[in-house]
Amino acid sequence: MDWSFGNIAPDSHPPEEAIAPGVVIGGRYQVVDVLGSGAQGEVLAANDLQLGRTVAVKLLKSHQDTPRERFLREGRLTASLTHPNVVSLLAGGVTPDGRPFLVLELLDDPVPLDVYVRDEPLDVRMRLFADVCRGVGAAHSAGVVHRDLKPSNLLVDRHGHVRVCDFGLSVHQHEEAALTQTNTVVGTPLYMSPEALLGTERNRSPQQDVWSLGVLLYQLLTD
């Protein structure tokens, strides 16, 4: 998963101080560790003080409208998905100073798909690829296009269970295109279709994800 918030536009405000371990977010989530941090936000491991479990908290730093709208859209789209191969959104909220946050399941010792399969045989690689396709298919059935499928957003836990993660660039096929305008390139070039690289309307089509899956399959078969 991309913990850097690199998909959020630059903010003219200086970055805020990273939240330190021990701080409680939303009156419930006590920070244990910082998993990743960037100019626009950070991802934290936190204890859920109500339910006694460890979760991931994705916290936006920016106060600009566009990054905030994108972040909230990520929350809405992730919340619309329920599937064993898609990361689960558990909750969301806003800090007292107005910064939105998302609470996600924290996977058990996750590693990117390409790292996990490094020494695995073909049958394991194909099982994991099939599970990725099931997760992406569930998103498409809900009208959600991921738009940034790549190994670092496909995490495998210590039990060999894979999940599609990080819907920060995702869109709904039928929503207004205000945040996904044409001539705007989003995603990771190696996994993007020609249409997506050109920034055409097809960058909101499920076909973009299918192309990315094809690249992923090629890597799994040849690496």
Closest CA to 44 of 26, 20, 65: 20
More confident of the two residues 10 and 43: 43
Calpha distance 60→209 (Å, rounded): 26
Q: Token pair for residue 133? A: 């396709």
Residues that are catalytic:
148
This prediction has a pTM of 0.84
pLDDT score, position 70:
86
Q: What DSSP designation does 74 have?
A: H
Q: Token pair for residue 41? A: 């936000």
**Residues whose CB is less than 8 angstroms from the CB of residue 6 and which lie 6 or more positions away in sequence, other chains included:** 38
pLDDT score, position 195:
83
Q: Is the pLDDT of residue 55 over 80?
A: yes
More confident of the two residues 95 and 4: 95
Percent of the chain with pLDDT over 70: 83
Give the residue extent of every domain in the chain: 24-105, 111-222
Q: Is the pLDDT of residue 185 over 60?
A: yes
Q: Token pair for residue 179? A: 């945040």
Homologous superfamily of the 111-222 domain (CATH): Transferase(Phosphotransferase) domain 1 (1.10.510.10)
pLDDT score, position 39:
65
Domains 24-105 and 111-222 share a fold: no
Q: Is the pLDDT of residue 13 over 70?
A: no
Q: Given pLDDT bands bounded at 50, 70 and 90, which one contains residue 187?
A: confident
Q: Are 152 and 2 in contact (CB under 8 A)?
A: yes
Lowest mean pLDDT among 19-23, 116-120, 156-160, 215-219: 19-23
Return the top range by mean pLDDT from 53-67, 130-144, 172-186. Answer: 130-144
The chain-wide mean pLDDT, for the chain, equals 87
C-beta atoms surrounding 9 within 10 Å? 10
In CATH terms, the fold of domain 24-105 is Phosphorylase Kinase; domain 1 (3.30.200)
Q: Given pLDDT bands bounded at 50, 70 and 90, which one contains residue 174?
A: confident
